C-alpha cells in the first residue's frame, strides 16, 4: 500500500470469482478483509430484541393525560404524582410497543423492582411503612434481579408483560388500557415533532 494506511475492506461477494480475487489481492497488500458471505453463513438466527422499562406501584396514582403528555406540570404539585404519571406512561408504552413491535421480533416488558434501598427509594411515601417492616425493603441487587431476568431469560419473552420478582404482576386497568396506550403513543410523537413510524398503527 504505497502511501496509504491499512484499511478495513468489506467484500460482499468474496467467496468466489472476482470478489475472491479482489479479497486475496487486498489482503496481500496488507488490508484487513472482511468476507460478508462468510459472516452470513456463520451467523445464526438473531434472538429477539428486548425492551425493559421500570414500573412502580406509584402508577396507580399518576394523573396522566394521555392526550396531552407534555401539558404544564402545574398539576403535579406533589412530586410523587409526577413520578406516578411517569410510571403509568412506562406501562402504557410497554403495551403499545408490544402491539407495534412484537410481530417484528421485539419483546417489550415492564417490571416492578419492589421497594429498593436507594436514595430515591428512601424518599418514597412508603418508606415510613418500610422502616417498621424492614423486610419490605430490597437491596439494589435484589431490585435488579427481575430486570436481568427479563433481559436474558427465554421464559421472560412475554410481549407487553408486567412482572415483579420474576412473576407476572398486576397493574391498574388504566395503565394497561390499549386505547390509552395508543393515544399516549400518538400524542408523544406529536409532542416531540416525530412522524408516525411504519408498522402496525
How confident is the model over 80-121, as pLDDT tens digits?
788 889 999 999 999 999 999 999 999 999 999 887 766 555
Residue 179 belongs to a domain: yes
Same domain, 27 and 96: no
Same domain, 37 and 92: no
Same domain, 85 and 154: yes
Same domain, 29 and 53: no
Q: What confidence score (pLDDT) does residue 91 get? A: 97
Q: What confidence score (pLDDT) does residue 92 get? A: 98
Which residues are catalytically annotated?
83
Same domain, 25 and 100: no
**Helix 79-101 and helix 178-191: axis angle, to 10°?**
100
Residue 159 belongs to a domain: yes
- State the average pLDDT over residues 134-149: 77
Tens digit of each residue's pLDDT (9 = 90 or more) over 41-75: 666 666 688 999 989 988 998 788 999 887 765 56
Same domain, 31 and 109: no
Residue carrying the nine cell digits 497488500: 29
Backbone angles phi, psi at 37, to 5 degrees: -60, -40
Cα–Cα distance, 32 to 36 (Å, whole number): 13
The answer for residues whose C-beta is within 8 angstroms of residue 129's C-beta and 6 or more apart is 136
Query: What is the CA angle 105-190-175, rounded to 5?
Result: 60
Q: What confidence score (pLDDT) does residue 8 get? A: 85
Same domain, 108 and 33: no
Helix residue ranges per DSSP H, the chain? 17-28, 36-42, 79-101, 127-132, 140-152, 178-191
Cα–Cα distance, 27 to 81 (Å, whole number): 62
Same domain, 26 and 109: no
Residue 3 belongs to a domain: no
C-alpha cell at 62: 399518576
CB atoms within 10 A of CB 109: 25
| Number of structural domains the chain divides into | 2
Is the pTM value of this prediction over 0.85? no
- State the average pLDDT over residues 141-150: 87
Q: What confidence score (pLDDT) does residue 1 get? A: 47
Residue 114 sits in a domain of what CATH number? 3.40.50.720
Contact present, 180 and 173 (Cβ < 8 Å): no
Tens digit of each residue's pLDDT (9 = 90 or more) over 9-23: 887 777 777 777 778
Q: What confidence score (pLDDT) does residue 115 get? A: 74
Terminal alpha carbon distance of the chain: 53
Contact present, 171 and 93 (Cβ < 8 Å): no
Tens digit of each residue's pLDDT (9 = 90 or more) over 163-176: 999 999 999 999 99
Q: Which residue range forms the structural domain that includes residue 59?
A: 49-191
Q: What confidence score (pLDDT) does residue 36 get? A: 78
Same domain, 31 and 74: no
Q: What confidence score (pLDDT) does residue 70 get? A: 74
Residue 153 belongs to a domain: yes
Same domain, 133 and 165: yes
Is the pLDDT at 131 greater than 70? The verdict is: no
Q: Characterize the bridge pairing of strands 137-138 and 8-11.
A: unpaired
Same domain, 30 and 98: no
Contact present, 40 and 16 (Cβ < 8 Å): no
Same domain, 73 and 136: yes
Amino acid at each position: 500500500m504505497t502511501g496509504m494506511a491499512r484499511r478495513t475492506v468489506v467484500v460482499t461477494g468474496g467467496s468466489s470469482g472476482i470478489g475472491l480475487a479482489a479479497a486475496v489481492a487486498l489482503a496481500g497488500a496488507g488490508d484487513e478483509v472482511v468476507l460478508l458471505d462468510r459472516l452470513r453463513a456463520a451467523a445464526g438466527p438473531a434472538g429477539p430484541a428486548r425492551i425493559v422499562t421500570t414500573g412502580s406501584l406509584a402508577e396507580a396514582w399518576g394523573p396522566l393525560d394521555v392526550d396531552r403528555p407534555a401539558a404544564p406540570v402545574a398539576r403535579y404539585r406533589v412530586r410523587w404524582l409526577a413520578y406516578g404519571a411517569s410510571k403509568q406512561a412506562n406501562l402504557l408504552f410497554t403495551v403499545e410497543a408490544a402491539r407495534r413491535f412484537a410481530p417484528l421480533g421485539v419483546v417489550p416488558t415492564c417490571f416492578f423492582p419492589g421497594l429498593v434501598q436507594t436514595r430515591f427509594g428512601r424518599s418514597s411515601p412508603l418508606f415510613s411503612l418500610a422502616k417498621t417492616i424492614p423486610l419490605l425493603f430490597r437491596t439494589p441487587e435484589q431490585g435488579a434481579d427481575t430486570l436481568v431476568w427479563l433481559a436474558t431469560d427465554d421464559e421472560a419473552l412475554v410481549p407487553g408483560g408486567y412482572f415483579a420478582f420474576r412473576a407476572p404482576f398486576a397493574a391498574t386497568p388504566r395503565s394497561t388500557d390499549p386505547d390509552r396506550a395508543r393515544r399516549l403513543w400518538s400524542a408523544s410523537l406529536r409532542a416531540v415533532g416525530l412522524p408516525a413510524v411504519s408498522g402496525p398503527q
